[in-house]
Structure 1
Amino acid sequence: MSMLLCPSMMCANFRSLEHEVNALEEANVDIYHIDIMDGRFVPNFGMGLQDLEYIRKQTQKTVDVHLMIDNPSAYIDLFADKGADIIYFHPESDMHPTRTIDRIVGRGVKAGIALNPGTAIAAVEPLLGMVDYVLVMTVNPGFAGQKYLPFVNDKIQALQAFKHEKGLNYTIVVDGAISEEKINELTHYGVEGFVLGTSSLFGKEESYKTIINRLKNI
């Protein structure tokens, strides 16, 4: 699989979301990443359903939702109905994560789990054979602009080793303070997907197209 570049739409300029999406389409990004927060599982609120609906209508590309919410199983049908192609949730926020994965897959949506920096791989090993994506948080979730936590590199390498040892097919995606230098480093660890925020894409003087083209050539 080629590198997946996934703009974190929480970092976009919401005064002109239409312009932002058009520029990202022109840049040929791979996946639109939409953070959904409830103010309980993480101490912040993310994007709304109207944002998801608007972005879904503007693109044929893959759209994912990252559910940083309590009891995500109650909302799987809602986000599937809104057109999400990938749904990530945090297993520790769910009483029955295997059932939630089954519900996602049953809706014809790709299933992903998101791992906080402090979540051990051993805690989610039974789930890894059931999912299409593993989203590794390289900062504590909920806020943009944090510093990359280097100890997470060991978890990424362990996930890659486990994947090969067990013959699994999940795609490893990283999210949090992902700079151009980190992309260059983490591709060597087997990371295939990168959520792009203010460290590499948004708020720069260069166009999205210029940045995305350079990143794709790393």
Structure 2
Amino acid sequence: MDLRPPAPLLAPSLLSADFARLGEELRTIEAAGAQVVHVDVMDGRFVPNITIGLPVVESLRKATALPLDCHLMIVEPLRYAADFVKAGANWVSVHQEADPHLHRTLAAIRQAGGKAGVVLNPGTPVETLVDLVGDFDFVLLMSVNPGFGGQSFIPRVLDKVRRLDALRSERGVPFFIQVDGGVGSKNAADLIRAGADCLVAGNAVFKAEDPKAAVASLLSEMRSGRTA
């Protein structure tokens, strides 16, 4: 049984987009071939930054047919996770470090109709997920410390991807692996080769001189990593 999605997915992060032109930015990445929209939700408590909330997600849902991937960098995620699904999110991920009742939160996301994900900070081992395999649909590995865009990729996360891929194979459970932070054309193929299935890219797409060309380059690198 193949435990990985048939093709790798690119999820441009709106954190790096022009917030005054979100509709136009969405149309650009759609036309370029991106398959998912990554939405960073920050509360100024779990991370030292504040971004967007439910009303913006509702507006994004009206503006695109692409799956909305909401990454909740917030305290008390159980209070809000299902509401993000109701607002239009297809995927909702919560931090293992922020949630003492993670099993309950994942179940709430699924019950609301969304894909449930667990996020691990760079210093959190993948082994903390052993007893939750089967209760989540994907794992998001942070390859920077969360809170701000434009940070440099932490290379040792490649090993975490390999360990998580090994756990997936050992348990025979088809969850997918996502990586977020410092992702670009220089490391995209290596991440996919290591076992990642979905890459989040912010500055590499929206700060590029030609975002459409940047998406095409990333997708090409990702496909080469899968076929290597």
Which TM-score tier does this pair reach, normalised by the shorter chain?
A: over 0.9
Give 1:177-192 correspondences, 5 Å limit: 177-192=182-197
Which of 63, 72, 76 is residue 68 of structure 2 equivalent to? 63
Q: Name the structure 1 match of 2:91.
A: 86
Q: Name the structure 1 match of 2:218.
A: 215
Query: Contact 1:34–1:65 at 8 Å: present in 2 too?
Result: yes
Query: Contact 2:13–2:38 at 8 Å: present in 1 too?
Result: yes
Q: Name the structure 2 match of 1:160.
A: 165
Q: Name the structure 1 match of 2:55.
A: 50
The one-character-per-residue Cα deviations of 1:99-146 (angstroms, maximum 9, x if unpaired) are 111111111110000000011122221123211110000000011111
In 2, Cα distance between the equivalents of 1:99 and 1:50?
Answer: 25
Q: Name the structure 2 match of 1:128.
A: 133
Deviation at 1:185, TM superposition (A): 1.2
Query: Contact 1:10–1:47 at 8 Å: present in 2 too?
Result: no
Give the match's secondary structure for 2:72: strand
Does 90-99 or 131-140 show the bigger shift? 90-99
Deviation at 1:210, TM superposition (A): 2.1
Does 180-189 or 133-142 show the bigger shift? 180-189
In 2, Cα distance between the equivalents of 1:214 and 1:122?
Answer: 33
Provide the aligned C-alpha RMSD in A. Answer: 1.2
In 1, Cα distance between the equivalents of 2:178 and 2:154?
Answer: 15
Give the match's secondary structure for 2:179: strand
Query: Contact 1:37–1:44 at 8 Å: present in 2 too?
Result: yes
Q: Aligned letter for 1:107? A: A
Q: Identity, % of aligned pairs?
A: 39
Q: Aligned letter for 2:220? A: N
TM-score for the superposition, normalised by structure 1: 0.95
How many residues are treated as equivalent by the alignment?
Answer: 216
Which stretches of structure 1, 4 residues or longer, exceed 3 Å deviation after superposition? none
Q: Which 5+ residue runs of structure 1 have no aligned equivalent?
A: none
Give 1:32-43 correspondences, 5 Å limit: 32-43=37-48
Q: Aligned letter for 2:58? A: E
Deviation at 1:43, TM superposition (A): 1.0
Q: Name the structure 2 match of 1:23.
A: 28
Q: Name the structure 1 match of 2:11.
A: 6
Deviation at 1:216, TM superposition (A): 2.0
Q: Aligned letter for 1:84? A: A
Deviation at 1:215, TM superposition (A): 2.2
Deviation at 1:49, TM superposition (A): 2.5
Query: Contact 2:176–2:197 at 8 Å: present in 1 too?
Result: yes
Q: Which 5+ residue runs of structure 2 have no aligned equivalent?
A: 1-5, 222-228
Q: Aligned letter for 2:174? A: N
Deviation at 1:19, TM superposition (A): 1.5
The one-character-per-residue Cα deviations of 1:167-216 (angstroms, maximum 9, x if unpaired) are 01111010000011110111110111000111x2111112x322222222
Deviation at 1:88, TM superposition (A): 0.1
Deviation at 1:80, TM superposition (A): 1.5
